[in-house]
Structure 1
């Protein structure tokens, strides 16, 4: 019974986030780029990353990560520099403009949908408590 209930809860959460209240299309339209590029920008905005680290974080291959970073660099959102200890390695760092765009994306993606705002305060507090227990960072 617990596995069945957990499966139902998981399916409901996935549906809420990825289907019923999916903000990805909105953020892509506002920033005028694909979601993978937004995801890359978000990750780099959290701190400089090597190209390899970014490739791993995006679960893409090296050539595709290079295309994504090329795009972001052409827009002035990130910059690539040589790693100070390994000349063969590049570090991707967010620019001021990139940080502002990443903040815009975060605001859109983190805005709670109406049904959440309509929940009673006690229900929201309980949901927050449960999700905090499940959060792994």
Structure 2
């Protein structure tokens, strides 16, 4: 599935994004994306053998766009961006795990109260 930039808001993790589309979405050249693949920061989806037909999961778009924003802001080289991208993806994965764990907790009002019990006037 080819995704155009105006359709960016509708991306879901199961969508596939072509190399050229990902480059245009993230303000990168195709050569820079291939370099990130060589560094191991981006992993193309299986099934495509040709370099021109590389496809990526749409889940890599938000962290890659953030890494490119930070690259521009701090004037980072591409190797540093590859390290940063790995950390951004790891943070996103951990945040997803935290949300999943929090979904299994009971509502805060149902949790036992912590701390000292409130003071009550003794009855005679």
TM over 0.5: no
- Per residue, is there more helix in 1 or in 2? 1
TM-score of the pair, normalised by structure 1: 0.28
Of structures 1 and 2, the larger Rg is shown by 2
